[in-house]
Amino acid sequence: MKKVKPKDNVVHMAKIHETAIVHPGAKIGKNVEIGPYSIIGPNVEIGDNTKIGPHVVIDGWTKIGCNNKIFFGASIGLEPQDLKFHGEKSYLFIGDNNTIREYVTINRGTENGGGETRIGNNNLIMAYCHVAHDCQLGNHIIMSNAANLAGHVIVEDHAVIAGLAGIHQFVRIGKMAMVGAHTKVVKDVPPYIIVDGHPARVAGINVVGLRRNGISPELRQEIKRAYKILYRSDLNISQAIERMDQELETSPEIEHFLRFLRNATRGIVR
């Protein structure tokens, strides 16, 4: 594979280190920086103003948006670690304004999982994290060092996953939820709550996260009522949903909470 020179199909304003290897088929946007010894595969698209550090590998059918920062040693868009994968065409989509730190690994999707892994915008994925095949991440998510997502995991907006946490395949992490450090999560984590432990147990409401995301005191009070109905009564989930429907003030946040509970296929952390 030859090194691409500015006179080839790479935009002239891109800054590509002389030791980097960029396939002629790759699409590189304006003001992109590619550091020493990084390798960019033939089906990769990189948006404007993205900065790629040294020794990064980006391969597969991978599309990365604008203004991202990808640090030393990251491995992006390579084949999934799934025995059912047999080389089929699959995808990885990464949005804008994400920070992907050292040695992060993000795999593209599989045919059985819908064919794509997807990461939204404004996320911080710290060093040594792993995002497996077919995961779906929203926006403004924080994954602390060495947090790991198995295949098919869904993480909703503004969730926080602390260091060394392990998330089981097909689990869903709700909006503004927080997963504590070293936590083993094998069931869905409803929005707005904190879970911790091995295995995970509910530890309360993520009050700090709610405040940081501009949730009003009145709405926080309604979320607290929902939490008490779900976790501090003797009701099962169906009964709790029915009671919340009857007693709580309607809002997008409460509706999302109820919708999450109705769609929880693995059960929820209790």
Mind listing the pLDDT tens digit for each residue in 86-110?
999 999 999 999 999 999 999 999 9
Where, residue-wise, is CATH 2.160.10.10 in the chain?
15-152
Chain centre distance of CA 106:
10
Map tokens 């709700």 to a residue: 174
Sign of CA dihedral 16, 19, 22, 24: positive
Instruction: Give residue 154's pLDDT band: very low, low, confident or very high (50, 70, 90).
Output: very high
Q: Which CATH number fits domain 210-263: 1.20.810.10, 1.20.1180.10, 1.20.1260.10, 3.40.190.80?
A: 1.20.1180.10
Residue 214 is predicted with a pLDDT of 97
Residue 96 CB partners (closer than 8 Å, separation 6+): 47, 65, 66, 67, 68, 121, 122
**What single-letter DSSP state applies at residue 22?**
E
Residue 5 is predicted with a pLDDT of 52
Q: Looking at 151, 174, 180, 209, which residue is catalytic?
A: 151
Q: Looking at 82, 96, 134, 196, which residue is catalytic?
A: 134
Mind listing the pLDDT tens digit for each residue in 106-146?
999 999 999 999 999 999 999 999 999 999 999 999 999 99
Cα–Cα distance list, 76 to 7, 45, 65, 122, 268 (Å): 26, 12, 13, 17, 31
Where, residue-wise, is CATH 1.20.1180.10 in the chain?
210-263
What is d(CA 96, CA 144) in angstroms, rounded to the nearest whole number?
19
Map tokens 């504590």 to a residue: 180
Q: Is 133 a known active-site residue?
A: yes
Q: Is 151 a known active-site residue?
A: yes
pLDDT value at 1 more than 50 = no
Q: Looking at 130, 133, 140, 152, which residue is catalytic?
A: 133
pTM for the whole structure: 0.94
Q: Looking at domain 15-152, does it have CATH number 2.160.10.10?
A: yes
Mind listing the pLDDT tens digit for each residue in 47-79?
999 999 999 999 999 999 999 999 999 999 999
